[in-house]
Amino acid sequence: MLEVQNLSMRFGGLLAVDGVSLDVKEREIVSIIGPNGAGKTTVFNCMSGFYKPSGGKILFEGQEVQGKPDYKISRLGMVRTFQHVRLFNNMTVVENLLVAQHRHLNTNLIAGLLKTPDYRERERKSLDRAAYWLERVGLMDLANREAGNLAYGQQRRLEIARCMVTEPKLLMLDEPAAGLNPAETKDLNQLIVSLKEDYCVSVVLIEHDMSLVMDISDRINVINQGRPLASGTPEEIRQNKDVIKAYLGEA
């Protein structure tokens, strides 16, 4: 469903990403790994429309999306999380989930003022969907707390729930396990697998936690210094000499 072909991104004289390709099929978890500064997040930023790639193509369900504005890409069903959690900190947990469902706000300005039945129905549906996902990630009891006051692990889960209420087809997770303790990482592992199994979402994952990556990925792409280094199943990557060299150094 997603195909990234020969993507490159240049910042001034620096070629941060060079010739990276990637493909994700339906209900698949694909990981992007690589040393720090390899350009993984830049790939994400290109895919989600924050950067306009300098070269290459990004096809989502057969449609070229590179260079499209971020919000349009998100509306097509490609939604992401961020390396450093980005919540609406002064809004409550449930409001965070409601905002995520507000992409068509212009059409219902008058309807909302008059509280038409249609509008009420839509609001109720968004609330129910929010409640469902809060239950799913175990934050129901905190629904009316301010998001900024949640514990770090809870914020991570809220961020994923916030993506899921938009009913995406493809979820891009940028280091979701960073800063989590082992128990939380285990929960996260189950959650991601369940997203794929139960909700038919494809996942692209950037992660440094190798046990998580090896455990849940269907395929893995390795990037080093902006260039693709290897790709294949976890087993293949584990045995790839180039990958071992890149991770362990030249020795």
Partner 1 sequence: MAANTLKHALFCAVVTLVIAYPILGLNLEAEGINVTLAGADTSTVISVIAAAIVVFLFQLFRENILSALKSIPSPLPKTQKEPMAENKRARIESWVLTGIVILALFWPFFVSRGSVDLATLVLIYIMLALGLNVVVGLAGLLDLGYVAFYAVGAYTFALLSQYAGVSFWVALPIGACLAALFGFTLGFPVLRLRGDYLAIVTLGFGEIIRILLNNWTALTGGPNGVGGIPDPTLFGMEFGRRVKEEGNVSFHETFGIAYSGEHKVIFLYLIALVLAVFTALVIRRFMRMPVGRSWEALREDEIAARSLGLSRTAVKLSAFTIGAFFAGFAGTVFASKQGFISPESFVFLESAIILAIVVLGGMGSQIGVVLAAIAVTILPELAREFSEYRMLIFGAAMVLMMIWRPQGLMPVRRIHIPLRKQE
Partner 2 sequence: MQDLLYFFQQLINGLTIGSAYALIAIGYTMVYGIIGMINFAHGEIYMIGAYTALIAITGLATLGIAWLPVILIVALICAMIVSSTMGWAVERVAYRPVRGRHRLIPLISAIGMSIFLQNYVHLAQGSRNIGFPALIDGGFQFGSADSFQMSLSYMQITIFITTLICMTLLSLFISRSRTGRACRAVSQDIGMANLLGIDTNRIISATFVIGAALAAVAGLLLGMYYGSIDPLFGFIAGLKAFTAAVLGGIGSIPGAMLGGLILGVSESMTSGYLSGEYKDVVSFGLLILILLFKPTGLLGKPEVEKI
The DSSP result for 147-159, as a single string, is GGGS-HHHHHHHH
Closest distance to partner 2 from the beta carbon of 200 (Å): 28
The count of residues in the chain is 251
Q: Is 1 in the site for partner 1 (CB under 8 A)?
A: no
d(CA 222, CA 33): 5
Q: Is 123 in contact with 108 (CB distance < 8 Å)?
A: no
Q: Is 194 in the site for partner 1 (CB under 8 A)?
A: no
Q: Is 11 in the site for partner 2 (CB under 8 A)?
A: yes
Q: Is 206 in contact with 38 (CB distance < 8 Å)?
A: no
Q: Is 154 in the site for partner 1 (CB under 8 A)?
A: no
Compute the radius of gyration of the chain from its Cα atoms.
19
246's CB contacts (< 8 A; 6+ apart) are 34, 35, 222, 224, 229
Instruction: Using CB under 8 A, pick the residue from 8, 31, 45, 66 that binds partner 2.
Output: 45
- Residue 174's alpha-carbon distances to 44, 128, 142, 200, in angstroms, are 8, 27, 24, 19
Q: Is 119 in the site for partner 2 (CB under 8 A)?
A: no
Closest distance to partner 1 from the beta carbon of 195 (Å): 17
Which residues, 111 to 130, sit near partner 1 by CB under 8 A? 112-113, 127-128, 130
Closest distance to partner 2 from the beta carbon of 50 (Å): 6
Q: Is 248 in the site for partner 1 (CB under 8 A)?
A: no
Instruction: Using CB under 8 A, pick the residue from 30, 43, 98, 180 that binds partner 1.
Output: 98
Token representation of residue 227:
């260039």
Q: Is 50 in the site for partner 2 (CB under 8 A)?
A: yes
Q: Is 66 in the site for partner 2 (CB under 8 A)?
A: no
Tally of CB atoms within 10 A around 43? 28
The number of residues that bind partner 2 (CB under 8 A) is: 5
- Residue 151's alpha-carbon distances to 46, 82, 148, in angstroms, are 30, 17, 8
Binding site residues, partner 2, CB under 8 A:
11, 41, 45, 50, 82
Binding site residues, partner 1, CB under 8 A:
48, 50, 69-71, 74-75, 79-80, 82, 86-92, 94-95, 98-103, 105-106, 108-109, 112-113, 127-128, 130-132, 134-135, 140, 143-146, 149, 162-163, 166
